[in-house]
Amino acid sequence: MRPFRAIVGISVVVAAALCATPPRSMRMYVFDCATLKDRDPANYGLTRQQVESVDMSDPCFLIVHPRGTLRWETGLNDAVYDRPEGGGAKHDKIDKSLKSQLAAVGYQPKDITYLAISHLHGDHSGNANDYAGSTWIAQKAERDYMFGPGLPENIHPNEYAALKNSKTKLITGDYDVFGDGSVMLILTPGHTPGHQSLLVKLPKTGAVVLTGDLYHFPGERTFHTVPVNDKPETVASRAKLEALIQKNNAQLWIQHDMIGNRKLKKSPAYYE
């Protein structure tokens, strides 16, 4: 069994070297953090004919920058959904845990410098406790909502409870994560009080906007419909984001768009 051990040893060394030496230019990894099954288009103001797929993708992202790393979104909780039958009423599914996908590119959660999530919902905050050792960059309005009274029943505060004691950078608006304009958190409230989106400017790929849940189905953008449970601020937040897309000539990646997601390069491949 020596050769096997040697190979394992080498890959551990390679993985350690990967995270010990930050790359000279940026990378963005796309992880598959779940498939959400059979969502009802009517909840987003759409008909069945106006959507291509009623299943939704649920990606998580890792941005590696010479000055550190940012985990954007933590997906559905691995322990609950990473099983053959899936979990929840609709059998939402994880095919590969986030932790294992992260390890495959040479990182453990404790290596990650910054954590940011678009909002508190369980398909975005499910594994947040794993990142309690990172600096959490949080919109004040969202953090207040997450740890305040009167949360709706569909929220699982236990899945992000450890963030309460994280080193936290509280923000109230847009925020430049690495100080060079390459990764910007964009405050886009409406879906939740402190919902945010992410603008990433990559050297080769160009600018990409990650929506969080500002849109779910592309049909919401085409037919100008708003999720029934969103507050009216969503309309202004979308106008703000669309202006940003124009200004930066950015691609828009609607995170829950199953069809768009299929076309993305998945980790261990990455965007530069």
Q: How far apart are CA 93 and CA 70, in angstroms?
A: 24
Q: How far apart are CA 50 and CA 121, in angstroms?
A: 25
Q: How far is the CB of 218 from Zn ion (least distance, A)?
A: 15
- Which residue blocks in the chain are alpha helix, DSSP H? 2-20, 78-81, 98-104, 122-125, 140-147, 218-222, 233-248, 258-262
Closest to Zn ion by CB, 130 vs 213, is 213
Q: How far is the CB of 35 from Zn ion (least distance, A)?
A: 12
Interior angle at CA 79, CA 73 and CA 85, nearest 5: 105
- 10 Å CB burial of residue 124 (0-12, 13-18, 19+) is buried
Q: How far is the CB of 256 from Zn ion (least distance, A)?
A: 6
Closest to Zn ion by CB, 123 vs 159, is 123
Q: How far is the CB of 238 from Zn ion (least distance, A)?
A: 16
Closest to Zn ion by CB, 182 vs 192, is 192
Closest to Zn ion by CB, 32 vs 123, is 123
In DSSP notation, 208-253 reads EEE-TTS-SSHHHHHTT---TTS-THHHHHHHHHHHHHHHHT-EEE
Q: Are 261 and 76 in contact (CB under 8 A)?
A: no
Collapse the DSSP code of 90 into the 3-class scheme (helix H, G, I; strand E, B; otherwise coil) and give the result: coil
Q: How far apart are CA 112 and CA 19, in angstroms?
A: 9
Closest to Zn ion by CB, 28 vs 210, is 210
Q: How far is the CB of 14 from Zn ion (least distance, A)?
A: 34
Closest to Zn ion by CB, 211 vs 267, is 211
Phi and psi of 145, rounded to 5°?
A: -65, -40
Q: Which residues make up the interface to Zn ion (CB under 5 A)? A: 123, 213
